[in-house]
Chain A
Amino acid sequence: MREPEKEEHHEALHLLGCPEVPVQTSIALYLMYLLRERGIRSTVAGTKAARSLVDLADPERHYVSGIMDLDEYIGMLAEGRLDYGHSFVYIHNDAGVSYAATVSALTKGQAYAIVFGSHAEERAAEITFKCRVIAAKVTHNPMPLKIKIEKALEEELHGLR
């Protein structure tokens, strides 16, 4: 597995699963905004529905630099053809934890788990692998998760301001 190139440390990947929990797309776009303010470009890898929501919400690509298919991203990551300095996996179900474990095992960068939904505490407790966990039990109101993300970014990325 190759190391992320220097410029890839200033690029982030957002892995978006099934968008059935309302806060997902909003939180993802807000995090992309925070990263952009720190000079970090964002690419989205997601399901068809997740990609469509992001695509529609950011038509002029203020926050999203690229969008790709979820399976395509996992394939390239597993084969060592693609990696990012920061990988954010959005989790609200068991499958999300599985994807986060896979990204954590394969990336040479930093993996983050953004956990939300009505079972956020249970999902967060399942993350025993190397990963920075940011979790809040929210479904419709993104504010508690927004605050935790801001705090985590201050701690993790303050050197990039």
Chain B
Amino acid sequence: MNERLPLAIIKYNAGNIQSVMFALERLGVNAVVTDNISQIQQANKVIFPGVGEASSAMQYLRERGLDQVIRELHQPVLGICLGMQLLCSHSEENDTSCLDIVPVQVRKFISESGEGRTKAPLKVPQVGWNNIYSLRTKLFDSVLEDSFIYNVHSYYAESSKYSIASCEYGVEYAAAVRKDNFYGVQFHAEKSAGVGAQILKNFIEL
């Protein structure tokens, strides 16, 4: 029973794991949801999902030593939504130090219309479908520029040289990031219809 898991989904105190499982199931992939350290280390691919709040998620990971485990993974890792934000350096959500794998700051959308701005104030969180552009890397193979993906979030990773997809909501931000073997998508690939399925498939085939 030393066979490597094709795909491990990291189990922790942030939801939406079931939706990710079902999305992978639709692609014919058997994933295992686990917080077992050796199972995670030995999987071919790791998905780090998440809906929830940054500081309590980080605390949970630290208490179980999962923070260090994630930092030291060598296989392709995909953070989704909060999972992506936790891969970054720091989040404005409750002033949280994150995993600091991708050196990018996570900021809150500003809902107030600032001075001199004529645009209507932003609704926060951003809820709904938005278009992504400047797509790079194999993660977006066969995905067209300006494809639509589903978002639910109040915080965003700043644009940087690690951006591999961009999106605009009041500001231009990183819809996806990559550093080495670590990938992250802000949107819910598991709920983004055919486009999301293609992105998950691309990750599986990396």
Pairing of A with B:
no
B residues with a Cβ closer than 8 A to A are none
